[in-house]
Structure 1
Amino acid sequence: MGAAGNKKPKKPKDKHHVPAYEKEEALNEASKKPRNQKK
């Protein structure tokens, strides 16, 4: 039964998984916007 679970399509997992480069881009954008301006 456990093996059958692995046969499920990876599409739903891919939606939740964020590529490393996308994460880096998001971090770069966040660092570009100075949070101190909200003070």
Structure 2
Amino acid sequence: MIPQFYKNLATEDTENTESFNVTVGRAVNELAAKIITDF
């Protein structure tokens, strides 16, 4: 499901992709911070 999602995303315009990447980047950073503080 995820690979197909990224394939579909690649066909979107650059502006939407950049916005998506920023959102995911923030989510990943927050998740990483939570994991780090748990250990």
* TM-score with structure 1 setting the length: 0.40
* TM-score with structure 2 setting the length: 0.40
Higher relative contact order (CA 8 A, sep 6+): 2
Q: Which has the higher helix share?
A: 2
